[in-house]
């Protein structure tokens, strides 16, 4: 059975104490439902701020139910890049996944597909899994260019990957107009876009493309998550706002297990 993913992206939120409190709240509750989590092959991942990765890693090190993701990494291996964090640094604190090309970074940091392609390679070279985000903005959807936008983001962000590397890849479809707006994409739109992404992955990687997890992100919550994850070619959710309130995040987990 294919793995399912629920990934909480905490963005630039929470102090260290708040982050630790959330994890401490989650751990016993997850332990209590661990059989249900395992029975559906659910991978639970938290993406806190860089500075909270290490203390959280220490908290979860004897638990197998939560893994760590980073929200970004630099596109060079190392060097004179003040303020940046490399893929190898993340791998050294037991980070397993790195979110690459979130629309907030594409918009505010002007990250391009070329830059994101080098980040994807660095994450893979460091032994972690990149979660490449793609998603059209509202103009692209309104003018019928949504599929073209996704096609270019995927083709541009996934460059020169070996078939071995492809096996570690995840993709997240996150329509920009649905992120943080409460305007979740309809199940029809999610199905249409996830099926389209699957076609691109199959075309590019053959049968290995069938196994690449495709996550949906954009205003998921405890009420809609079960229906969304039931959709065709939906292998998980990338959760922003609704992951910040840890009891709500736990409710989401309970609703899908
Ligand atoms: C996100 O930023 O990746 C996201 C999905 O946010 P939200 O769940 O708040 O829409």
Residue 1 has pLDDT above 90, yes or no: no
CA 136 / ligand 1 centre spacing (Å): 14
Task: For residue range 39-65, list pLDDT tens digits in order.
Answer: 999 999 999 999 999 999 999 999 999
Q: What percent of the chain has a predicted confidence (pLDDT) above 90?
A: 98
Mean of the per-residue pLDDT values of the chain: 97
Task: For residue range 123-143, list pLDDT tens digits in order.
Answer: 999 999 999 999 999 999 999
- Does residue 71 contact residue 110 with C-beta atoms inside 8 Å? no
Q: What is the pLDDT of residue 68?
A: 98
Strand 129-134 with 4-9, pairing: unpaired
List the residue whose alpha carbon is closest to atom 6 of ligand 1: 240
Strands in the chain per DSSP E: 4-9, 42-47, 66-70, 95-100, 129-134, 170-173, 214-217, 236-239
Which atom of ligand 1 lies closest to the CA of 181?
10
User: Mean pLDDT throughout 73-84?
Assistant: 98
pTM: 0.97
Give the domains, in start order, of the chain with CATH numbers: 4-256 (3.20.20.70)
Task: For residue range 19-38, list pLDDT tens digits in order.
Answer: 999 999 999 999 999 999 99
- Does residue 39 contact residue 129 with C-beta atoms inside 8 Å? no
Residues 6+ apart with CB under 8 A from 151: 200
CA neighbor of 90 nearest in space, from 42, 133, 117, 123: 123
Tokens of 117: 């392609």
Residue with tokens 């980070």: 95
Q: Determine if ligand 1 sits within 6 Å of the CB of residue 179.
A: yes
DSSP assignment letter at 185: P
Q: Which of 39-42's residues contact partners 24+ apart within 8 Å by CB, and which partners?
A: 39/257, 40/1, 40/4, 40/256, 40/257, 41/1, 41/2, 41/3, 41/4, 42/3, 42/4, 42/5, 42/6, 42/253, 42/256, 42/257
Residues 6+ apart with CB under 8 A from 201: 154, 171, 209, 210, 212, 214
CA neighbor of 255 nearest in space, from 86, 103, 36, 89: 36
Which atom of ligand 1 lies closest to the CA of 221?
8
Task: For residue range 59-71, list pLDDT tens digits in order.
Answer: 999 999 999 999 9
Residues identified as active-site:
102, 174
Confidence of residue 233 (pLDDT cuts 50, 70, 90): very high
Buried b (16+ CB within 10 A) or exposed e, 132-148: bbbbbbeebbeeeebbe
Residue 98 has pLDDT above 90, yes or no: yes
Q: Which of 147-150's residues contact partners 24+ apart within 8 Å by CB, and which partners?
A: 147/193, 147/196, 150/193, 150/196, 150/197, 150/200
Task: For residue range 190-224, list pLDDT tens digits in order.
Answer: 999 999 999 999 999 999 999 999 999 999 999 99
Residue with tokens 């500075």: 51
CA 103 / ligand 1 centre spacing (Å): 10
Residues 6+ apart with CB under 8 A from 168: 124, 128, 129, 130
Rounded to whole angstroms, how far apart are CA atoms 241 and 234? 20
CA 244 / ligand 1 centre spacing (Å): 11
List the residue whose alpha carbon is closest to atom 1 of ligand 1: 240
């Amino acid at each position: 059975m294919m793995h399912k993913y629920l990934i909480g992206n905490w963005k630039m939120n929470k102090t260290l104490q708040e982050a630790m409190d959330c994890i401490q709240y989650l751990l016993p509750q997850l332990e209590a439902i661990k059989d249900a989590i395992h029975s559906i092959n659910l991978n639970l991942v938290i993406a806190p701020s860089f500075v909270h990765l290490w203390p959280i890693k220490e908290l979860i090190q004897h638990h197998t139910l939560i893994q760590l993701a980073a929200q970004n990494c630099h596109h060079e291996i190392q060097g004179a890049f003040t303020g940046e964090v490399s893929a190898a640094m993340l791998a050294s604190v037991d980070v397993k996944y790195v979110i690459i090309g979130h629309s907030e970074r594409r918009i505010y940091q002007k990250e391009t597909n070329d830059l994101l392609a080098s980040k994807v390679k660095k994450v893979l070279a460091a032994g972690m899994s990149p979660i490449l985000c793609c998603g059209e903005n509202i103009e692209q959807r309104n003018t019928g260019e949504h599929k073209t936008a996704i096609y270019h983001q995927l083709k541009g962000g996934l460059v020169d990957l070996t078939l071995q590397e492809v096996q570690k890849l995840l993709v997240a479809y996150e329509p920009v107009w649905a992120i943080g707006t409460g305007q979740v994409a309809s199940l029809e739109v999610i199905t249409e876009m996830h099926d389209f992404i699957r076609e691109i992955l199959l075309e590019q990687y053959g049968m290995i493309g069938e196994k690449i997890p495709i996550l949906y992100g954009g205003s998921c919550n405890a009420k809609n998550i079960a229906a969304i994850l039931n959709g065709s070619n939906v292998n998980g959710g990338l959760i922003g706002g609704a992951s910040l309130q840890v009891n709500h995040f736990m409710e989401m987990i309970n609703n899908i297990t």
